[in-house]
Structure 1
Amino acid sequence: MKNITYIMFKSIAIISLVAMFFSCTNSKKEVQDFLADKNLPIAVGKNIYHVYKDSGKVTSKLITPLLNDFTNRKEHPYNEFPKGIKIITYENNGKDSTTITGNYALTYNKTKISEIRDNVVIINHSQHSRLETNQLYWDQKEKYFFTEDGFRLTNPTDTINGFGFESKQDLSKWIAKDITGKIETKEESL
């Protein structure tokens, strides 16, 4: 009699468990919409080390301790890096590299524009130049940086401070606004 009761309870438990699994019919879209409504990321990644390649060549590396993926947003899908980000870009077959670091970042997937904040440092290793600011926008399509915040640009010959800065991704061909500092110029003959 004990065995029959035990088998009956076990059978009821298994049938209930199977019914519960088959009753869960939420589609992927329903789950994404639920997460978006609750302002939750669709995925969370920890200790990310991602290598981007183009035609078999490494073009950049992304390193971050935490990635929140909000690409389930309809209007403005984005990725959030709440614990900081480090990006290394490679140009000219890896001979020139630029390192970008910051304590917080957002990357908008549709526009390919990133906002990097808090202790932002960009280093062009081949030209030995360094840009420091508290907020920077990066247009990844155009390979272009810009900020309206205070900045400090240093290279082997100059140190420039100011408010408002634009440049190519490798810190060349820059425009600086409201500047102070020491700048060496070359005199060109007409």
Structure 2
Amino acid sequence: MKTSKKNIFLNIAAIFMVAMFFSCTNDTKKVRDFLADKNLPIAVGKDVYHVYKDSGQVTSKLVAPVLNDFTNKGHAYNEFPNGIKIITFENDGKDSTTITGNYALTYTATRVSEIKGNVVVYNHTNKRRLETNQLFWDQREKYFFTEDGFRVTNITDTISGFGFESKQDLSKWLLKDITGQLEVQKEEL
């Protein structure tokens, strides 16, 4: 008699578990829509270290304490609420440019990033440094721009102003509303 009660109990438990298993299916689209409606990320990464490659060559590295993936939104983006560090590599794999900031958004479709709070861009080759509170980075065009205050320094010069555009390697500048000190060479005629 004991075995039959035990078998009945196990059968009921098995049927209950199978019923629960088949009733717990979620449509992926419904889950994504739910998360988007609640303004929740579809994924969260902690202590992110991502290496980007092109044709087998490392082109950049991204380091961030937290990455929130909002690719479930209409205009998909990634958020880095606790800061970001990006190191780009050009020139035969040498450390080219380092970009840091306290907060960042990167839009997937346009590949434009907005970096905010203590933004520093440092070119290791020519020792040029850009500091600002807000910077936009067009990754496709390899181009920086801001309408916020900025300061550019290198070994001998310091330039400040409001409004800055340049290539990703901090060359070919377009500076607006500037002040500062520049060392110039006098040309002989």
Sort the TM-score into its range (normalised by shorter chain): over 0.9
Q: Which amino acid aligns with 1:57?
A: Q
2:78 counterpart of 1:84: no
Task: Tell me which residue corresponds to 1:134.
Answer: 133
SS in 2 for 1:171: coil
Q: Which amino acid aligns with 1:23?
A: S
Q: Which amino acid aligns with 1:13?
A: A
The answer on whether the counterparts of 2:97 and 2:124 sit within 8 Å (CA) in structure 1 is yes
Q: Which amino acid aligns with 2:5?
A: T
User: How far did residue 4 of structure 1 move?
Assistant: 3.2
SS in 2 for 1:17: helix
User: How far did residue 184 of structure 1 move?
Assistant: 2.1
Q: Which amino acid aligns with 1:26?
A: N
Q: How does 1:170-189 map to 2 (within 5 A)?
A: 170-187=169-186
**Separation of aligned partners in 1, 2:147 and 2:186:** 29
Task: Name structure 2 gaps, 5 residues minimum.
Answer: none
**Separation of aligned partners in 2, 1:13 and 1:139:** 58
SS in 2 for 1:156: coil
What percentage of aligned pairs have identical amino acids?
A: 72
User: How far did residue 188 of structure 1 move?
Assistant: 5.6
Aligned-residue CA RMSD in angstroms? 1.6
SS in 1 for 2:36: helix
Q: Which amino acid aligns with 2:181?
A: K
Task: Name structure 1 gaps, 5 residues minimum.
Answer: none
Task: Tell me which residue corresponds to 1:48.
Answer: 48
SS in 2 for 1:36: helix
User: How far did residue 2 of structure 1 move?
Assistant: 4.2
Change (3 A) 1:186 1:12: farther
2:3 counterpart of 1:14: no
**Separation of aligned partners in 2, 1:167 and 1:113:** 15
The answer on whether the counterparts of 1:149 and 1:164 sit within 8 Å (CA) in structure 2 is yes
SS in 2 for 1:31: helix
Number of aligned residues: 189
